[in-house]
């Protein structure tokens, strides 16, 4: 369905030194630098899958999305969606996709929502009949009814996002690109949006590519994730595999007896574990220990802790996905240096 | 004084940096203005040819060239974008960010603009004056530059700047009522362009209109300094014109303060 | 083609609805351009209060040329005003993304999106001036000349649009090209007056390089004198087609250089 092969996109950037002096320098001799916002990005997405496309800020997610949607022309490499190269026949290609940029809206700001839909109907050449059934479906999934007649500028962020998703779905796209669809929304609204995405994906077999910073989005929605950092692929696989691979991290929380006078140094002493497998944070008597259970078995860790101090309360749990991703980012960054 | 320097100099520096960052836009306005001057130059040349005389209502062709370029340059130098700046800030609400800083709000605008004006003077004003003096020298064969008139021009143009800044500040507050800032800008520019004599020297206008306009604040914004540079006024009139500028500077300062106070109230009523 | 008209009509209708929401803004805009025009005419009045004719043209003829020059300008302003925004911020802020994800020509889309009613100011003044002096100038009126003159109007407007497209498209490379549009568009001042008042280099410039003379003076000259229809009218059509071709070429080159914005 979607094939991205060795995508690369370069940008020219003018480097400016700070301050007044730098401004003057940039005036007379601008320093240019070429940076690759995306470099050798490859992945495939089968039909009907929801792919989570993640990475830290500035990793190049949006650049890749913009190449896939035909907005940017890759410097090298190629992408094919439904057998079409976006840049070759843009007009016909974009009829098959829907795009939502969470930070921008494609709705007519000053006019009621219905007006935007009737314009889009013409632009995408949706027949009257299709339009009717489509609006009914979107209305049901995204619950637009209560605000469809209000001017867009009066909508809340959550309503606007629902409206934007509906706008991108009007023409029954085969692929839906969602760039940060839950950004800035509260938990209840986020959940609403997720339900809707799932429903659309299920009922229409729409392939979805989703970028997000919200880990719950990924856990709840995505079959698979592709992670990029500094313009390069760092992970491609299912969430479960990721957890299995990096999920041996455990977190132990306990409250030490104040009389025991425990310090992180004292705790680590005699354990014989290297720094990369264990980190200790402490706030007065509250300790948080993160360790790799493959290197330091949980039982050993518990016994050791109990042998050096008396504790009031102790618990060990799996590290959550956020933690794993933080590790991965860190690994990517270290590998780069 | 030292406190002012410390507190407001960063704003002036920011003004210079903004002008450099948007140097191309600035260049666009300068070149646009020069193109306009050239159109007017040819038009006046045709007018002089058609009138058959060597002077037209007391202006020689050399006077006319001087007037055209000087008044265009002066209005560019005293041009203040504070009306659009403040309008934008009112519209998107970021004016609140300015108001929470522990400095005088309109002073911060003024210093930001002064930084830009300083740059304009150096990269645009001085070359134009140099070019005009070269032209006058080429036409007459003698050096026509008069340091006293230049000094008078500088003093008067500085006053013109302060008046223009305050007038623009007042226009900026219109943003509380109207969203079409672009339209307001066109309106403001054509009104000021006409009333200040940038478009047509006030001397060419019918007497009644001329006398009224000469006493209005707009004449103080570019006509007065230009006429001073050209040495068109007698000593007593010089005194009168500059005092008039001073009076307007004070009056408009008061007016902008009044509007500002009203605006702040309005802001707090709207809740930012 | 029919689809284009249909979409244009729908988008224009949306725009009008928006204008109705902000009546004060519409009034400000129209009045602004009206006053801007009034000031320009006052200028001509004051000059002619002192001289009987200018380079062989009477006051009424100059007013006619001036009035006519506002019509192509106003038409372009009415229909293609959004190009300014492309140059000033649509590209720089990355908002051009939207047009690229729609299945219609982005150039058409971006132009069709704005229907700038402020232009009423220019059109009303232009037409009124022409009517006002039409009694006192000798127009060269035959069925053919009227047809040729009317044909020239949309092509003259197209010259404005072409120049704006070409200069706005530079934003795809340099991010913000508002200043270039401003600079080049500003030369339309030359179109308001007979080119005979300019020196030869300027005359060549405004005839062939930034051809605003064809968007005002030349077609007006034809209906005033009946002279040289091949140059005055044919030239307008030919120049506008050539410039439109160049402009769309630059635009399409620009699209592939578009870099969007942000992360």
Q: CA C85 to CA A82: how far, in whole Å?
A: 34
Nearest residue, CB atoms, C51 vs list B47, B190, B199: B47
Q: What is the token pair recorded at B23?
A: 């140097």
CA distance to partner chain C, nearest, from residue B46 (Å)? 6
Q: Is the pLDDT of residue C231 over 90?
A: yes
Question: Residue C149: left (phi > 0), alpha (psi -120 to 50), or beta?
Answer: alpha
Using the 3D structure, point to which of A216, A243, A270 is the last residue of a domain. A243
Q: Is residue A180 part of a domain?
A: yes
β B55-56/B59-60 pair status: antiparallel
β A249-256/A286-292 pair status: antiparallel
Contacts of A151 in chain B (CB under 8 A): none
Identify which has the larger pLDDT, B27 or C127. C127
Banded model confidence at residue B272, pLDDT cuts 50, 70, 90: very low
A213 and A262 both lie in a single domain: no
Asked if B57 is an interface residue toward chain C (Cβ–Cβ < 8 A), one would say yes
Inspect the interface and report whether the beta carbons of C10 and A122 lie closer than 8 Å: yes
Q: Is residue C142 part of a domain?
A: yes
Contacts of C195 in chain B (CB under 8 A): none
Q: Is residue C263 part of a domain?
A: no
The single-letter DSSP state of residue A272 is -
A221 and A304 both lie in a single domain: no
Mean per-residue pLDDT, A46-66: 87
DSSP string, C65-130: HHHHHHHHHHHHHHHSTHHHHIIIIITTTTTTHHHHTSSS-HHHHHHHT---GGGHHHHHHHHHHH
Mean pLDDT check: name the lowest of A39-53, B178-192, B228-242, C26-40: B178-192
Give the residue on A whose Cα is nearest the Cα of B119.
Answer: A24
Q: Is residue A33 part of a domain?
A: yes
A235 and A202 both lie in a single domain: yes
Q: Is residue C70 part of a domain?
A: yes
Question: Residue A48: left (phi > 0), alpha (psi -120 to 50), or beta?
Answer: left
Q: Is the pLDDT of residue C185 over 50?
A: yes
A198 Cβ partners below 8 Å, 6+ apart?
A50, A220, A221
Banded model confidence at residue C76, pLDDT cuts 50, 70, 90: very high
Q: Is the pLDDT of residue C70 over 90?
A: yes
Nearest-5° Cα angle at B139, B133 to B144: 40
Q: What is the token pair recorded at B189?
A: 């520019």
Banded model confidence at residue C216, pLDDT cuts 50, 70, 90: very high
Nearest residue, CB atoms, B32 vs list C33, C36, C186: C186
In C138-228, which residue ranges form alpha helices assigned H by DSSP?
143-169, 171-174, 178-185, 200-204, 217-225
Inspect the interface and report whether the beta carbons of C22 and A110 lie closer than 8 Å: yes
Contacts of C48 in chain B (CB under 8 A): none
For residues C63 and C133, is the Cβ–Cβ distance under 8 A? yes
Mean per-residue pLDDT, A280-298: 84
Question: What ipTM was estimated for this complex?
Answer: 0.79
For residues C177 and C201, is the Cβ–Cβ distance under 8 A? no
Q: Is the pLDDT of residue C240 over 60?
A: yes
Q: CA C263 to CA C261: how far, in whole Å?
A: 7
How many domains, in total, are found in chain A? Answer: 2
Q: CA A210 to CA C201: how far, in whole Å?
A: 58
Per-residue pLDDT at B144: 82
Q: Is the pLDDT of residue B270 over 70?
A: no
Per-residue pLDDT at A322: 65
Contacts of A119 in chain C (CB under 8 A): 7, 10-11, 14
As a whole number, the mean pLDDT across chain B is 84
Asked if C259 is an interface residue toward chain A (Cβ–Cβ < 8 A), one would say yes
Mean per-residue pLDDT, B233-257: 93
Q: Is residue A310 part of a domain?
A: yes
CA distance to partner chain A, nearest, from residue C99 (Å)? 9
The CATH number for A132's domain is 3.40.50.300
Q: What is the token pair recorded at B223?
A: 């006509």
For residues A291 and A249, is the Cβ–Cβ distance under 8 A? yes
Q: CA B35 to CA A79: how far, in whole Å?
A: 48
How many domains, in total, are found in chain C? Answer: 1
Which among A241, C205, A295, C47 has a CA at the least distance from the CA of B200? C47
Banded model confidence at residue A112, pLDDT cuts 50, 70, 90: confident
Give the residue on C whose Cα is nearest the Cα of A106.
Answer: C98
Asked if B187 is an interface residue toward chain C (Cβ–Cβ < 8 A), one would say yes
Which among C29, C69, C246, C58 has a CA at the least distance from the CA of B39? C69
Give the residue on C whose Cα is nearest the Cα of A100.
Answer: C98
Give the residue on B whose Cα is nearest the Cα of A23.
Answer: B17
For residues C90 and C109, is the Cβ–Cβ distance under 8 A? no
Three-state DSSP class for residue A255 = strand
A157 and A299 both lie in a single domain: no
Q: Is the pLDDT of residue A214 over 60?
A: yes
Nearest residue, CB atoms, A123 vs list C100, C104, C263: C104
Asked if C54 is an interface residue toward chain B (Cβ–Cβ < 8 A), one would say yes
Q: Is residue A335 part of a domain?
A: no
Q: CA C219 to CA C200: how far, in whole Å?
A: 20
Q: Is residue A332 part of a domain?
A: no
Three-state DSSP class for residue A125 = coil
Mean per-residue pLDDT, A70-81: 90
Q: CA A81 to CA A1: how far, in whole Å?
A: 6
Banded model confidence at residue C114, pLDDT cuts 50, 70, 90: confident
Domain that holds residue C121: 2-257
Q: Is the pLDDT of residue B99 over 90?
A: no
Q: Count CB atoms within 10 A of the CB of residue C257.
A: 11
A78 and A212 both lie in a single domain: yes
Distances (CA, A) of C240 to A316, C74, C201, C234: 77, 16, 21, 10
Q: CA C55 to CA C213: how far, in whole Å?
A: 16
Q: Is residue A215 part of a domain?
A: yes
Mean per-residue pLDDT, C198-204: 91
Element (H, E) at A237: strand A232-238
Contacts of A108 in chain C (CB under 8 A): 14, 18
pTM, to two decimals: 0.82
Q: Count CB atoms within 10 A of the CB of residue B122.
A: 10
Element (H, E) at A69: none
Q: CA B92 to CA B95: how far, in whole Å?
A: 8
Mean per-residue pLDDT, C176-190: 87
Nearest residue, CB atoms, C256 vs list A73, A94, A106: A73
Inspect the interface and report whether the beta carbons of B24 and C176 lie closer than 8 Å: yes
Inspect the interface and report whether the beta carbons of C17 and A63 lie closer than 8 Å: no
Mean per-residue pLDDT, A61-66: 89
The CATH number for A268's domain is 3.30.70.980
For residues B236 and B164, is the Cβ–Cβ distance under 8 A? no
Q: Is residue A130 part of a domain?
A: yes
A233 and A262 both lie in a single domain: no
Inspect the interface and report whether the beta carbons of A91 and C103 lie closer than 8 Å: yes
A202 and A106 both lie in a single domain: yes
A155 and A209 both lie in a single domain: yes
Q: Is the pLDDT of residue B143 over 80?
A: yes
Q: Is the pLDDT of residue B88 over 80?
A: no
Inspect the interface and report whether the beta carbons of A20 and B16 lie closer than 8 Å: yes
For residues A254 and A311, is the Cβ–Cβ distance under 8 A? yes
Neighbours of chain C (3+ CB pairs under 8 A): A, B
Domain that holds residue A284: 249-318
CA distance to partner chain B, nearest, from residue C93 (Å)? 15
Q: Is the pLDDT of residue C215 over 90?
A: yes
Q: CA A150 to CA C108: how far, in whole Å?
A: 28
Banded model confidence at residue B131, pLDDT cuts 50, 70, 90: very high
As a whole number, the mean pLDDT across chain C is 90
Banded model confidence at residue C262, pLDDT cuts 50, 70, 90: low
Banded model confidence at residue A321, pLDDT cuts 50, 70, 90: low
Candidate ranges A94-103, B195-204, C163-172; pick with highest mean pLDDT? C163-172
Using the 3D structure, point to which of A218, A243, A268 is the last residue of a domain. A243
Query: Which residue matches tokens 């974008």?
Result: B81
Max CA distance (Å), chain C: 64
A216 Cβ partners below 8 Å, 6+ apart?
A190
Per-residue pLDDT at B236: 92
Query: Which residue matches tokens 């050539």?
Result: C242
Per-residue pLDDT at B262: 79
Inspect the interface and report whether the beta carbons of A71 and C258 lie closer than 8 Å: yes
Give the residue on B whose Cα is nearest the Cα of A25.
Answer: B20
Which among C89, C71, C38, C228 has a CA at the least distance from the CA of C145? C228
A40 and A91 both lie in a single domain: yes
Asked if C151 is an interface residue toward chain A (Cβ–Cβ < 8 A), one would say no
Q: Is the pLDDT of residue A26 over 70?
A: no
Q: Which of B12, B15, B20, B122 to mutate to test the interface with A (most CBs of A within 10 A)?
A: B20
Banded model confidence at residue C99, pLDDT cuts 50, 70, 90: very high
Cα-based torsion angle of the residue sequence A98, A99, A104, A109 in order, rounded to the nearest 10 degrees:
-10
A231 and A304 both lie in a single domain: no
β A224-229/A232-238 pair status: antiparallel
For residues B83 and B168, is the Cβ–Cβ distance under 8 A? yes
Give the residue on C whose Cα is nearest the Cα of B206.
Answer: C46
Contacts of B36 in chain C (CB under 8 A): 186, 189
Instruction: State the distance between the two ends of chain A, measured CA to CA, in whole angstroms.
Output: 35
DSSP string, B43-74: HHHHHHHHH-SSEETTEEHHHHHHHHHHHHHH
As a whole number, the mean pLDDT across chain A is 84
Per-residue pLDDT at C263: 45
Candidate ranges A189-203, B1-15, C90-104, C210-224; pick with highest mean pLDDT? C210-224
Per-residue pLDDT at B1: 61
Q: CA B21 to CA C173: how far, in whole Å?
A: 17
In C199-259, which residue ranges form alpha helices assigned H by DSSP?
200-204, 217-225, 229, 235-257
Q: Within 13 Å of residue A215, how many CA atoms lie on the same side as its CB?
A: 8
A265 and A207 both lie in a single domain: no
Residues C50-63 pLDDT 10s: 888 888 899 999 99
The single-letter DSSP state of residue C228 is -
Q: Is residue C262 part of a domain?
A: no
Per-residue pLDDT at B271: 42
B139 Cβ partners below 8 Å, 6+ apart?
B62
CA distance to partner chain C, nearest, from residue A21 (Å)? 23
Asked if C22 is an interface residue toward chain A (Cβ–Cβ < 8 A), one would say yes
CA distance to partner chain A, nearest, from residue B17 (Å)? 6
Q: Report the b/e string of A191-229 with b at 16+ CB within 10 A.
A: ebbbebbeebbeebebbbbbbbebbebbeebbbbbbbbb
Using the 3D structure, point to which of A192, A219, A243 is the last residue of a domain. A243
Per-residue pLDDT at A119: 86
Which among C176, C189, C214 has a CA at the least distance from the CA of C93? C176
Q: CA C57 to CA C60: how far, in whole Å?
A: 8
Q: CA A64 to CA A70: how far, in whole Å?
A: 10
Residues A124-163 pLDDT 10s: 889 999 999 999 999 988 889 999 998 888 888 889 999 9
Q: Is the pLDDT of residue C15 over 90?
A: no
For residues A90 and C105, is the Cβ–Cβ distance under 8 A? no
Q: CA C168 to CA C180: how far, in whole Å?
A: 8
Three-state DSSP class for residue A313 = strand
Per-residue pLDDT at B247: 95
Is the CA virtual torsion A187, A189, A195, A196 positive or negative?
negative
Q: Is residue A323 part of a domain?
A: no
């Amino acid at each position: 369905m979607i094939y991205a092969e060795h995508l690369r996109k370069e940008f020219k950037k003018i480097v400016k030194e700070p301050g007044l002096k730098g401004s003057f320098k940039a005036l007379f001799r601008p320093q240019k630098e070429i940076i690759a916002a995306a470099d050798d990005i490859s992945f495939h997405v089968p039909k009907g899958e929801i792919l989570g496309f993640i990475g830290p800020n500035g990793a190049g997610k949006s650049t890749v999305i913009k190449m896939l949607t035909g907005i940017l022309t890759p410097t090298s490499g190629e992408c094919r969606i439904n057998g079409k190269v976006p840049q070759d026949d843009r007009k016909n290609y974009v009829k098959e996709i829907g795009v939502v940029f969470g930070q921008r809206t494609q709705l007519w700001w000053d006019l009621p929502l219905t007006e935007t839909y009737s314009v889009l109907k013409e632009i995408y050449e949706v027949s009257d009949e299709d339009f009717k059934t489509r609006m009914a479906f979107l209305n049901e999934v995204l619950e637009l009814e209560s605000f469809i007649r209000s001017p867009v500028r009066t909508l809340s962020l959550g309503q606007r996002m629902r409206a934007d998703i509906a706008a991108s779905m009007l023409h029954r796209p085969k692929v839906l690109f969602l760039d940060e669809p839950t950004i800035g929304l509260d938990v209840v609204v986020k959940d609403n949006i997720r339900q809707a995405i799932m429903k659309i994906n299920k009922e229409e077999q729409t392939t979805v590519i989703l970028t997000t910073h919200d880990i719950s989005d990924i856990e709840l929605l995505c079959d698979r994730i592709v992670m990029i950092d500094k313009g390069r692929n760092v992970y491609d696989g299912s969430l479960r595999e990721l957890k299995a691979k990096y999920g041996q991290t455990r977190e132990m929380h306990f409250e030490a007896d104040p009389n025991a006078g425990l310090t992180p140094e004292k705790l680590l002493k005699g354990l014989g574990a290297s720094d990369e497998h264990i980190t200790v944070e402490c706030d007065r008597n509250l300790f948080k220990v993160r360790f790799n259970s493959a290197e330091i078995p949980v039982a050993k860790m518990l016994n050791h802790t109990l042998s050096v101090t008396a504790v009031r309360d102790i618990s060990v749990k799996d590290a959550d996905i956020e933690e794993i991703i933080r590790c991965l980012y860190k690994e990517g960054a270290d590998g780069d240096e | 004084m030292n406190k002012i320097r410390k507190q407001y100099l960063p704003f002036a520096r920011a003004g210079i940096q903004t002008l450099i960052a948007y140097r191309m836009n600035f260049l666009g306005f300068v070149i646009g203005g020069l193109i306009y001057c050239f159109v007017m130059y040819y038009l006046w040349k045709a007018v002089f040819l058609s009138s058959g005389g060597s002077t037209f209502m007391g202006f020689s062709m050399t006077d006319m060239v001087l007037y055209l370029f000087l008044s265009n340059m002066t209005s560019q130098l005293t041009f203040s974008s504070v009306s659009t700046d403040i309008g934008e800030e009112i519209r998107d609400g970021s004016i609140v960010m300015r108001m929470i800083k522990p400095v005088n709000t309109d002073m911060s605008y003024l210093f930001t603009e002064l930084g830009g004006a300083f740059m304009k003077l150096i990269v645009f004003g001085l070359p134009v004056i140099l070019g005009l003096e070269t032209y006058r020298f080429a036409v007459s064969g003698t050096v026509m530059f008069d340091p006293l008139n230049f000094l008078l021009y500088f003093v008067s143009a500085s006053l013109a700047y302060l008046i223009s800044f305050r007038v623009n500040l007042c226009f900026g507050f219109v943003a509380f009522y109207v969203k079409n800032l672009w339209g307001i800008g066109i309106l403001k520019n054509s009104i000021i362009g006409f009333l200040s004599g940038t478009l047509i020297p006030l001397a060419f206008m019918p007497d009644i209109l001329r006398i009224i306009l000469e006493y209005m604040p707009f004449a103080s914004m570019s006509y007065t300094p230009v006429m001073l540079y050209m040495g068109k006024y007698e000593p007593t009139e010089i005194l009168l014109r500059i005092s008039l500028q001073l009076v307007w500077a004070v009056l408009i300062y008061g007016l902008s303060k009044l509007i500002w106070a009203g605006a702040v109230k309005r802001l707090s009523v709207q809740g930012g | 083609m029919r689809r284009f008209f249909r979409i244009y009509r729908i988008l224009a209708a949306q725009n009008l609805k928006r204008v109705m929401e902000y009546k004060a803004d519409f009034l400000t805009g129209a009045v602004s351009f009206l006053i801007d025009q009034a000031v320009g005419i006052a200028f001509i009045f004051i000059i002619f209060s002192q001289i009987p004719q200018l380079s062989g043209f009477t006051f009424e003829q100059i007013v006619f040329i001036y009035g006519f020059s506002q019509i192509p300008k106003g038409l372009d302003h009415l229909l293609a005003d959004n190009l300014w925004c492309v140059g000033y911020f649509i590209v720089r802020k990355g908002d051009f993304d939207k047009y690229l994800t729609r299945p219609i020509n982005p150039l058409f889309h971006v132009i069709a999106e704005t229907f700038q009613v402020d232009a009423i100011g220019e059109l009303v003044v232009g037409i009124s001036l022409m009517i006002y002096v039409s009694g006192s100038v000798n127009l060269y009126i035959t069925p053919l000349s009227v047809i040729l003159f009317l044909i020239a109007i949309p092509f003259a407007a197209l010259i404005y649009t072409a120049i704006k497209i070409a200069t706005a498209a530079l934003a795809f490379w340099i991010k913000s090209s508002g200043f270039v549009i401003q600079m080049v568009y500003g030369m339309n001042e030359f179109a308001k007056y007979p080119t005979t008042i300019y020196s030869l280099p300027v005359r060549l410039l405004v005839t062939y390089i930034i051809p605003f003379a064809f968007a005002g003076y030349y077609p007006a000259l034809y209906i005033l004198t009946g002279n040289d229809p091949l140059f005055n009218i044919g030239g307008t059509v030919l120049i506008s087609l050539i410039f439109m071709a160049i402009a769309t070429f630059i635009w399409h080159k620009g699209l592939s250089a578009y870099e969007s914005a942000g992360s």
